Structure formats: C-alpha cells, structure tokens
Amino acid sequence: MSADNPFFTSVEQFVAWSGGDHCIKKVLVANNGIGATKAIKSIRKWAFETFGNERMITFVVMASPEDMKANAEYIRMADHVVDVPGGTNNHNYANINLICQIAERLKVDAVMPMWGHASENPLLPTSLLNLTRRVSFIGPPAEPMQALGDKIGSTIIAQSAGVPVIAWNGDGLTVDYKSEGIPQSIFDRANVQSAEECLACCERIGYPVMIKASEGGGGKGIRKVFKSEDVQASFRQVQGEIPGSPIFVMKMASHARHLEVQLLADRHGEAIALSGRDCSVQRRHQKIIEEGPPNIASPSVFRKMELAAISLAKTVGYCNAGTVEYLYKMEDESFAFLELNPRLQVEHPVTENIMGMNLPSCQLMVAMGIPLHRIGDVRRLYGRHVRGTDTIDFQFSEKVVPPRHCIAVRVTAENPEAGFQPTSGRIQELHFHSSIDVWGYFSVNNS
C-alpha cells in the first residue's frame, strides 16, 4: 500500500497491518440459498474496496442435487463447488463431520455458516479446533454460543447480569457465569420436565403464558396458552415438535413490540451495539417486516437496551456478530430480555443500510483476530479515519450515524390448498431491478 496505490497488495499484509493473527484467504460457506449468496457478495465487495481485486478471498460452497437442479445463484458465484448428498440438512449443510472433512480436504482457512443449518451448533467450532490445520469459525466460540444460544441458559445469564427479564418459571435463579458457568443443577431447576410441572408453573406465573422449547425457533416449539385446560396438550405438542429439547414457560407479553439490538464483538473483550431493528410484524412467529432503527422506543430507553446487550456479551466473552432480542411495552417503556441469537440474522441488511456497514466482512475481520477499533466500517461509524490506527474508547465515544431509515420485507409463498403451509412453489418469472434506495436479494432465478 502506498500513496499511489491505496490498496493492500496481499491479505497477509492487510492482516499484519490491522493487528490480526490469522490470514483468511479461502472460506468454506456452510450454507446455501440467500445465506451463501449474501456472504459471497458482501465479502467480494469488501475485497474490491480493500485490495482492488474482489477475488482476493476465494469461496468453496456445498451443493446438494436439489440446489444444483434449482440453478441456485450461489453455486454460479463460487470459486469451487463440492457436491454433497441431498435430502434434509443433516445430510449436507448441517452435517458437522461433512463440513469438517471438506474444510480439511480443500485446505480452507475458515468456515462461514451465516444463519440456519449448523450456524448455532457449538459442535462445529469445537470440531474445527481439532483439525490438523488452523480453520477459524466465522462466528462465536462454542462456549458462549452454547450458553447464549440456549434460551433457558441465556435467560439465566441475563437475569444474573442484571438485564430485565419477563416472568418465567426460572425467575430468581442466578449464576456467576465467569467463574462457574451454568451448573447443571441450576439449569435443571429451570427445565420443565413434565406436563404436571408445566401446569404448576403456568398457574404460578399467571395466564396467558408461552410454553417454549429451548432449542426451538422459526415458529417451531412454541404454544400460547390462555387457560389451564390447554396446558398439558400444548406441552406435549411442544415436546413433539422439538424432541429432546428442554422446555420452559414464560409470561406472554400482550401488546408488546419485538425489538432487537445488533451486536459486534471481537476476540479482545470489546463489544459494540450497532443500533437495532423492530421486528414486531410476524406470521407464525416468523419475522415478515423488519424496520430500523426502531422508533417506537425513546432514544434513552433504547440506549439502555444497547448497554444491557453489551453487558451480556461481555459477561460470557461473546465474539463476532449476534443479536439480542427484547420485548418492549409502550405503556410503561419497560423492556425484557427474550433471547440472544448467536449468529448473523437474515435481516442484517437493515442494519447495514442504516449504519453504512458491511457486516459479513466485519465478521471475517473479527475471525482474523482484528480488533474492532481497526475495522474500517467501525472506525467510520465513530468518525475516525478508516485507515487510522488509534484506539477507540467505545464506552465514551459517540457514533456518527447517518440519518437513514430502512424497511425490509420477506417475500413468502404459501399454499392455500394445504392450510397455507409455506411452500416455494415454482418461480416462472422473476424480474427485480435494484437501485440505491430499493434493493432485493434472491436465491432463485426463473425456472
């Protein structure tokens, strides 16, 4: 890099200059569809801006027969394609052994799961540590992933850290996470293990309640209950949807908004909040519309949400991107911790737009060991020169946020002849022209 050439000449040079410790030049994207597409597009954009060459980072992708047949966009974008078995994702994109075998055989430097599939399975980062060569996981370490990815464990940690939580069957349980983690005896006390116990918890908390599987998500393993007569049947339905998952009961927050805080943390103990999103418009407990920044909460209250999220992340040594979700009640401006998603979320482009950032590239740089204060997008956010080397006191520094607002809509398809069950159907024609202010991401093309 020189005055005449503003680009770095190699990834090694960039990592050394930025204070990192792992040169990542080849990435296995353990995902398909829009997750893989967005990862490749974002990091190639960053590579062009940093090196003047978008191919400085190469990508290996996995392709099932179904994705090959669908002519998936990410397959055409990749540098190397590995055929994997079809069927459910435990045969391919969520198969830890298969992912590790590919990573070792093709000598990749890192594995990037994005969201879904194996992204929240702590066995993946643990298994990568056991390979014969260094392969970084572009996501959080196994320990905080397991602690915060579990809804019961994360709620215990949150209330131990002083983060407000909603009434639930484990309220009052606290731990000293840094010194002892979550003892199994404490976790077991928060795990509702029978329909009879569930009924007793519901009666104590007061109706309406939500019966939830700790390992559930995306609308699965969750039931609303308004009266005692429905408790036992609902409990068994949750058990059946997520077999083997711990179950807990929480008070249903009526007329609450669903707000979330985007986190980014490095391996050096620093964490920052990157505004947030309002995802209150949902269908079958799946987010349909995301809006950012949230304007339903006052700036002072939302700042408290951000600080609570940062405190939670630092308590468990969280690293990389994550999202803390809250329930917010307008009438008294109260908020309560709901869960932490230990991964990048589908709706992260909302945050990218309002903050002027490229989150997958930030994830990559964190995995390279680069401190937050040396990441260009973070420095720009705090009004610093993108190629400066000075440290930033994030606790007392103000962000310089552009006056932007963004709304994202998830396009869904349902079959009215099958009880409006989700279905992809057949795409016969697809035309969408992105502009500066309106854009779309698609993982399929015309059939």
Burial class (CB in 10 A: 0-12, 13-18, 19+), 240: exposed
Instruction: Output the 3-class SS for the chain.
Output: CCCCCCCCCCHHHHHHHHCCCCCCCEEEECCCHHHHHHHHHHHHHHHHHHHCCHHHCEEEEEECHHHHHCCCHHHHHCCEEEECCCCCHHHCCCCHHHHHHHHHHCCCCEEECCCCCCCCCCHHHHHHHCCCCCCEECCCCHHHHHHHHCHHHHHHHHHHCCCCECCECCCCCCCCHHHHCCCHHHHHHCCCCCHHHHHHHHHHHCCCEEEEEEEEECCEEEEEECCHHHHHHHHHHHHHHCCCCCEEEEECCCCCEEEEEEEEECCCCCEEEEEEEEEEEEECCEEEEEEECCCCCCHHHHHHHHHHHHHHHHHHCCCEEEEEEEEEECCCCEEEEEEEECCCCCCHHHHHHHHCCCHHHHHHHHHCCCCHHHCHHHHHHCCCCCCCCCCCCCCCCCCCCCCCCEEEECCCCEEHHHCCEECCCCCCCCCCCCCCCCCCCCCCCCC
Distance of CA 216 to the CA centre of its chain: 15
Phi, psi of 378 (to 5 degrees): -70, -45
Longest dimension (CA), the chain: 75
Could you tell me which residues come within 8 angstroms of residue 289 by beta carbon, excluding any fewer than 6 positions away? 279, 281, 407, 408, 409, 410
The partner residues of 240 in beta bridges, in order of sequence, read none
Which residue in 343, 374, 379, 384 is the catalytic one? Answer: 343
Does residue 223 have an active-site annotation? no
User: Whole-angstrom Cα distance, residue 374 to residue 383?
Assistant: 13
* Residues tagged active-site: 343
